[in-house]
Structure 1
Amino acid sequence: MSGRVIAGRYELATILGQGGMGQVWTAYDQRLDRRVAVKLLRPDRVAGPGGSGAADELRRRFVRECRVTAQVDHPGLVTVHDAGNDGDDLFLVMQYVEGSDLADHLAEHDPYPWQWSVAVAAQLCAALSAVHAVPIVHRDLKPRNLMVRPDGTITVLDLGVASVLDNDTTRLTHTGTPIGSPAYMAPEQAMGGAVGPYTDLYALGVLLHELLSGDVPFAGSTALGVLHRHLYEPPLPVRQIRPDIPEPLEALVLRLLAKDPQHRPASAQEVYEHLTPLLPSRSTGLPSGPLDPTRPFLRPHAPWPDLVTTPPAAQPAPVAAKPDVAAAVDEVKQLLGQGRITQAVDILGGILPAAAEQHGEGSPVVRILRKQYAATLMDDGQYRRALPELRRLADDRAAEAGPADTQTLQYRYDAAQCLEQLGEPAAALAEYRAVLPYYENQYATGNDPARSFEIRQRIGYLLLAVGDHAAARGQLQALLYDTERMYGPHHPLPVELRRQLDRQMQVRGG
Structure 2
Amino acid sequence: MGQVWTAYDGRLDRRVAVKLLRPDHMAAATAAGEMRRRFVRECRVTAQVTHPGLVTVYDAGSDGDDLYLVMQYVEGADLADHLAEHEPYPWQWVVSVAAQLCAVLAAVHAVPIVHRDLKPRNVMVKPDGTLTVLDLGVASVIDTDTTRLTHTGSPIGSPAYMAPEQAMGGAVGPYTDLYALGVLIHELLSGNVPFAGSTALGVLHRHLYEAPLPIRRLRPEVPEPLEALVLRLLAKDPQHRPSGALEVYEALAPLLPNRGAPSGPLDPTRPFLRPFAPWPDRAAVPSPPVAAPTPPRLDVAAAVDEVKRLLGEGSITQAVDILGSILPAAAAEHGEHSPVVRILRKQYATTLLDDGQYRRALPELRRLADDRLAEAGPADPQTLQFRYDAAQCLEQLGEPAAALAEYRSVLPYYENQPPGGPGAARSFDVRHRIGNLLLAMGDHTAAQHQLQGLLHDSERAYGPYHQLPVELRRGLNRQQQFHSPRRGGAPGPAR
Report the TM-score range of the alignment, normalised by the length of the smaller protein.
over 0.9
State the 1:173 CA deviation: 4.8
Structure 2 unaligned residues grouped into runs of 5+: 487-495
Q: Give the aligned partner of residue 37 of structure 1.
A: 17
Q: Give the aligned partner of residue 172 of structure 1.
A: 148
The 10-residue stretch of structure 1 (326-335 or 294-303) with the greater mean CA deviation from structure 2: 294-303
Q: Give the aligned partner of residue 503 of structure 1.
A: 478
Which amino acid in the other structure matches residue 365 of structure 1?
V
For 1:38 and 1:83, locate their aligned partners in 2 and report how far apart those are by CA, in whole Å: 9
State the 1:31 CA deviation: 1.7
For 2:208 and 2:291, locate their aligned partners in 1 and report how far apart those are by CA, in whole Å: 51
Deviations, residues 411-438 of structure 1 (Å, cap 9, x unaligned): 0000000000000000000000000000
State the 1:323 CA deviation: 2.0
**Match of 2:203, SS?**
helix
Q: Give the aligned partner of residue 491 of structure 2.
A: none
Q: Give the aligned partner of residue 22 of structure 1.
A: 2
Q: Give the aligned partner of residue 422 of structure 1.
A: 397
- Tell me if structure 2 keeps the 8 A contact 1:135–1:421: yes
Counterparts of residues 217-256 of structure 1 (less than 5 Å): 217-256=194-233
- Tell me if structure 1 keeps the 8 A contact 2:150–2:156: no
Q: Work out whether 1:137 is the aligned partner of 2:114.
A: yes
- Tell me if structure 1 keeps the 8 A contact 2:146–2:157: no
Q: Work out whether 1:364 is the aligned partner of 2:364.
A: no
Q: Work out whether 1:492 is the aligned partner of 2:471.
A: no
* CA gap 1:121/1:433 in 2 versus in 1, 3 angstroms: same
* CA gap 1:178/1:390 in 2 versus in 1, 3 angstroms: farther
- Tell me if structure 1 keeps the 8 A contact 2:259–2:272: no
For 2:43 and 2:264, locate their aligned partners in 1 and report how far apart those are by CA, in whole Å: 34
Q: Give the aligned partner of residue 489 of structure 2.
A: none
For 1:275 and 1:129, locate their aligned partners in 2 and report how far apart those are by CA, in whole Å: 14
The 10-residue stretch of structure 1 (491-500 or 274-283) with the greater mean CA deviation from structure 2: 274-283
For 1:471 and 1:413, locate their aligned partners in 2 and report how far apart those are by CA, in whole Å: 21
- Tell me if structure 2 keeps the 8 A contact 1:166–1:173: no
- Tell me if structure 2 keeps the 8 A contact 1:170–1:461: no
- Tell me if structure 2 keeps the 8 A contact 1:332–1:347: yes
For 1:340 and 1:297, locate their aligned partners in 2 and report how far apart those are by CA, in whole Å: 40
Which amino acid in the other structure matches residue 36 of structure 1?
V
Q: Work out whether 1:279 is the aligned partner of 2:256.
A: yes
421, 425, 442: which one aligns with 2:417:
442
* CA gap 1:441/1:482 in 2 versus in 1, 3 angstroms: same
* CA gap 1:388/1:297 in 2 versus in 1, 3 angstroms: same
For 2:355 and 2:35, locate their aligned partners in 1 and report how far apart those are by CA, in whole Å: 16
For 1:447 and 1:216, locate their aligned partners in 2 and report how far apart those are by CA, in whole Å: 46
Q: Give the aligned partner of residue 117 of structure 1.
A: 94
**Match of 1:448, SS?**
helix
Q: Work out whether 1:475 is the aligned partner of 2:450.
A: yes
* CA gap 1:445/1:45 in 2 versus in 1, 3 angstroms: closer
State the 1:321 CA deviation: 3.1
For 1:259 and 1:193, locate their aligned partners in 2 and report how far apart those are by CA, in whole Å: 13
* CA gap 1:293/1:448 in 2 versus in 1, 3 angstroms: same
For 2:287 and 2:19, locate their aligned partners in 1 and report how far apart those are by CA, in whole Å: 31
For 1:310 and 1:33, locate their aligned partners in 2 and report how far apart those are by CA, in whole Å: 28
**Match of 1:289, SS?**
coil
146, 152, 155: which one aligns with 2:123:
146
Which amino acid in the other structure matches residue 23 of structure 2?
P
* CA gap 1:317/1:35 in 2 versus in 1, 3 angstroms: farther
State the 1:445 CA deviation: 13
Q: Work out whether 1:87 is the aligned partner of 2:64.
A: yes
Which amino acid in the other structure matches residue 36 of structure 2?
R
State the 1:44 CA deviation: 1.5
- Tell me if structure 2 keeps the 8 A contact 1:438–1:446: no
Structure 1 unaligned residues grouped into runs of 5+: 1-20
Which amino acid in the other structure matches residue 230 of structure 2?
V
Deviations, residues 430-481 of structure 1 (Å, cap 9, x unaligned): 0000000000013699971100000000000000000001111111111000
**Percent pairwise identity:** 79
Q: Give the aligned partner of residue 337 of structure 1.
A: 312
For 1:32 and 1:311, locate their aligned partners in 2 and report how far apart those are by CA, in whole Å: 26
Q: Give the aligned partner of residue 492 of structure 2.
A: none
For 1:360 and 1:303, locate their aligned partners in 2 and report how far apart those are by CA, in whole Å: 52
* CA gap 1:311/1:146 in 2 versus in 1, 3 angstroms: farther
409, 433, 458: which one aligns with 2:408:
433
**Match of 1:423, SS?**
coil
Counterparts of residues 337-416 of structure 1 (less than 5 Å): 337-416=312-391
- Tell me if structure 2 keeps the 8 A contact 1:406–1:446: no
Q: Give the aligned partner of residue 15 of structure 1.
A: none
**Match of 1:282, SS?**
coil
How many residues of Structure 1 are paired with residues of Structure 2 in the alignment?
Answer: 482
- Tell me if structure 2 keeps the 8 A contact 1:58–1:165: yes
For 1:94 and 1:311, locate their aligned partners in 2 and report how far apart those are by CA, in whole Å: 29
State the 1:48 CA deviation: 1.6
* CA gap 1:174/1:110 in 2 versus in 1, 3 angstroms: closer
For 2:69 and 2:287, locate their aligned partners in 1 and report how far apart those are by CA, in whole Å: 28
For 2:129 and 2:423, locate their aligned partners in 1 and report how far apart those are by CA, in whole Å: 55
**Match of 1:216, SS?**
coil
* CA gap 1:446/1:266 in 2 versus in 1, 3 angstroms: farther
Which amino acid in the other structure matches residue 220 of structure 1?
G
* CA gap 1:312/1:396 in 2 versus in 1, 3 angstroms: farther
Counterparts of residues 315-330 of structure 1 (less than 5 Å): 319=293, 320-330=295-305
